[in-house]
Amino acid sequence: MDTSLLDISGAADERTFTANDYKGPTARWCPGCGDFSILATTRRLLELEQLAPEKTLFVSGIGCSSRFPHYLKTYGFHGIHGRALPLALGAKLRRPDLHVFVVMGDGDCTSIGAGHWIHAIRYNPNMTVLLLDNNIYGLTKKQTSPTTPVNYKTNTQPKGSYLNPLHPISVTLGVANASFVAQTADWIPAHLLATMRAAQQHKGLSFIRILQRCPKWTIDIFDAKVKTPDEMMILNHANGITDPKVQKMYKNQMEHDPSDLDAARALTGMTSHIPLGLFYKNEDAAIYNELRMNKSFTTEEKMANLEKEFDRYAV
């Protein structure tokens, strides 16, 4: 393992961090935006896990949700549209000491960056990926996204969107080497936090689709869901995500074994309810950044090895 960049000061980190230690400048989302709840929950997660701010990296793409890193006091990389995952992979490849989070919107992840999404699932690097899915392009003002419901009127498809949406969970579960796939909602902070904690503790890429309210463009889609808790189906399992508060609050609950891939896939077809919880988990999936870690060498060793290379090519 390459340890050249690890903190080797030897001093135990005696700092303790509160949620405030992760607080960045005031967020500039619209009032009522689900992103506020996700941001607050994230700070709570960082506090619970006591992640050192200088070792924590949030990478994002472009869109409302991708402003996320700016509003935290950790390292952040606000990238370009659809490309957060390659940046995050590059960051993690040689820096296993960093806690890497990726924040993307539905346009970012499932449209312009869809190729990277599929391959990141397959690479399965050790990081937490949050898809903040508000079913619409927000920052560019109400264009159809791949997750916009069919017949929903937008500025680019004013007669209603033409096609059925893709299901981010179903797509993710279709990719070889998927290792942690969960769904939650911004308006259920307890479930959100429990899901993010499980994700952060999982080794490999944890993919969380977060249903996210957009008060500006898709309020009608989410309002009904927020007001109708019975639409939710909480997935329970000893190896899944369980939170006593959530179990108390929601009427519809079912057992789902997250090691059962076929059952997980079947759940994505559920139309009667919206399943929330851990769809699938595979702790044995190969982790690309770990596979690619190799022995490190001193400058002297590298120079000696390069001289050997020269010998191979010597006249």
Partner 1 sequence: MSSSQSASSEDAQEVYEKVITGLGDKTYTDHSCEVVSDAGEGAQKCGQGFGALSAKMGNGAWTVEIIPAEIEPPPRTPGSTSGVGIRIGQDKITNAGDAVKLVIAFNEQVLLSRHRVNAMSDDCIILIDSKWRTHVNPKVVGEWEDAMKEMSTKNYKWILVPLEAETLKVVDNPKLGKNMFALGLLCHIYDRDVQIAKDQVAYTFRKKPPAVTEANHKLLEAGIAWAAENLDFRFLVPARPPTSELLVMNGNEAFGMGALAAGIDVCAMYPITPASSVSHYLADVYDNFGGMVHQAEDEIAAIGVALGSSYTGKTAMTITSGPGLALKGEFIGLALMIEMPLIIIDVQRGGPSTGLPTKVEQSDLLCVLYGQPGDGPKIVMAPSSIEECFHCIITARQIAETLRTCVFILSDANLATGQTPFERPKLDAKWMAGPPKQTSVPEGSRPYEWNLDTGISERFIPGQRGGEHTVTGLNHDESSRVNYEPATNQLGHAMRSRKIAVFAETLNAPIPYGGDEGDLLIVGWGSTRGAIEEAVDRARAKGLKASSLHLTFLSPLQPGIKEACDKFTKVMTVELNYSDASDDPHITPTNRRRGQLATLLRAQLLIDCGSWGKVHGAPLQPAVLLGIIEKYIPKA
Residues that bind partner 1 in the complex, under the rule CB under 8 A:
2, 4-5, 7, 24-25, 52-55, 57-59, 62, 69-70, 72-81, 83, 85-95, 97-98, 115-116, 118-119, 292, 294-297, 299-300, 302-303, 305-307, 309-310, 313-315
Task: Considering the complex, state which of residue 52 and residue 226 has its C-beta at the smaller distance from partner 1.
Answer: 52
What separation, in Å, do the N-terminal and C-terminal C-alpha atoms of the chain show? 36
Question: Measured from the CB of residue 109, what is the shortest distance to partner 1 in angstroms?
Answer: 14
Question: Measured from the CB of residue 308, what is the shortest distance to partner 1 in angstroms?
Answer: 8
Question: Measured from the CB of residue 175, what is the shortest distance to partner 1 in angstroms?
Answer: 12
Tell me the pairing of strands 274-281 and 180-185. Answer: antiparallel
**Chain-centre distance for alpha carbon 154:** 26
Tokens at 287, concatenated: 């982790």
Question: Measured from the CB of residue 143, what is the shortest distance to partner 1 in angstroms?
Answer: 19
Handedness of CA 256, 218, 29, 144 (dihedral sign): positive
Task: Considering the complex, state which of residue 24 and residue 149 has its C-beta at the smaller distance from partner 1.
Answer: 24
Identify the helix (H) or strand (E) that includes residue 104: strand 99-105
DSSP state of 71: G
Task: Considering the complex, state which of residue 272 and residue 299 has its C-beta at the smaller distance from partner 1.
Answer: 299
Q: Which DSSP string corresponds to 181-244?
A: EEEEETT-HHHHHHHHHHHHHSSSEEEEEEE---TTT-HHHHHHHHH-GGGEEEEE-TTS---H
- CA–CA dist 165, 99 (Å, integer): 32
Question: Measured from the CB of residue 225, what is the shortest distance to partner 1 in angstroms?
Answer: 31
Task: Considering the complex, state which of residue 119 and residue 216 has its C-beta at the smaller distance from partner 1.
Answer: 119
- Which residues are registered as beta bridge partners of 182? 208, 278
Question: Measured from the CB of residue 312, what is the shortest distance to partner 1 in angstroms?
Answer: 9
Task: Considering the complex, state which of residue 162 and residue 313 has its C-beta at the smaller distance from partner 1.
Answer: 313
Task: Considering the complex, state which of residue 80 and residue 166 has its C-beta at the smaller distance from partner 1.
Answer: 80
Handedness of CA 292, 294, 300, 303 (dihedral sign): negative
